[in-house]
Amino acid sequence: MCEGQRAQISPRSPQRTQRVLLTLALALTTVPAWAQSSPVTVTAAEPPAASSMPAATRAQAIVAPRSRADAAASATLAALLPHLAANDSIPLMDRSAMVAGDLSRLLANYDANASGSIVVAGAEENGKIQSVLRRAMTLLGTPYRWGGSTPDSGFDCSGLVGYVFRTALGIELPRVSRDMASDRKNELINDRTALTEGDLVFFGRKGRVDHVGIYVGEGRFLHAPSTGKDVRVDTLLTGYWGNKFMQARRVDL
């Protein structure tokens, strides 16, 4: 649990319909990222060899699937956002910007081969990290609830982190953020410039950890902030969370 949070139920209970719609939108939005690397099985006659195709034709063949996927994902997200915000106190345009920005930042980090942003030991570990990020992304917009550890009940900070690692990789983490921070099975990281995607990041004051999130790259982390707020992405380089950052742990995958 997030230490320092009062045992208070958010007045806005989780809406199952909203979460289903959000999960669908997020899943469809990941299509552009997966379309770049997923193999395609061709059952029709084989096309001419790439070397015999004009350069313009080859470029169009590469860009067209990605453009169609981008357009489909954008249209789906635009259609669903009014439903996601129907019972929300956050204005629709603000919610749209928040969700779209979070999705863009997370998806930008998925293609490790293209960006080189994920430093890992091998392809297997890289795949596990991407599984963690995908699972975390589907939970964006889930309401905060003290003591919550499932999408139906809502999440507190450590409940969210534990749920992601348990359902994505079958890894059980301590329930409370301060216990996660002191778990010596996982590598301790004190320098925030050494963070890589999937690391657990811890925050607190006066030497006491009271909050945890999952690092998603580019100085940002995904977390369940506090009562009345939803799972979202924030920066840990500056501002409130930048000042509260204490350490990180790299989970042994």
Instruction: Write down the catalytic residue from 95, 128, 178, 223.
Output: 223
Asked whether the beta carbons of 216 and 112 are under 8 A apart, the reply is: no
Instruction: Write down the catalytic residue from 157, 216, 233, 251.
Output: 157
- Residues 160-167 have a mean pLDDT of 98
Residue 213 backbone dihedrals phi, psi, to 5 degrees: -150, -175
223 given a catalytic annotation? yes
Instruction: Pick the more confident residue, 99 or 42.
Output: 99
pTM, full prediction? 0.61
The predicted-structure confidence for 8-36, as pLDDT tens digits, reads as follows: 444 444 444 455 445 545 544 444 444 44
83 given a catalytic annotation? no
**Which two structure tokens, joined as six digits, stand for 37?**
């690397």
Which H or E run includes 71? Answer: helix 55-84
- Residues 190-218 have a mean pLDDT of 96
**Which two structure tokens, joined as six digits, stand for 96?**
């749209």
Beta-ladder partners of 248:
189, 201
Instruction: Write down the catalytic residue from 211, 220, 232, 249.
Output: 211
Cα 60 to Cα 215: distance, rounded to the nearest angstrom = 36
Quick one: pLDDT band at residue 5, thresholds 50, 70, 90?
A: low
Quick one: pLDDT band at residue 119, thresholds 50, 70, 90?
A: very low
The pLDDT assigned to 224 comes to 97
Instruction: Pick the more confident residue, 198 or 38.
Output: 198
211 given a catalytic annotation? yes
Listed by start position, the domains of the chain span 16-36+52-250
The pLDDT assigned to 94 comes to 55
- Residues 150-163 have a mean pLDDT of 97
Q: What is the CATH number of domain 16-36+52-250?
A: 3.90.1720.10
pLDDT at 243 over 90: yes
pLDDT at 65 over 80: no
Instruction: Pick the more confident residue, 26 or 222.
Output: 222
**C-alpha 228: how far from chain center:** 20
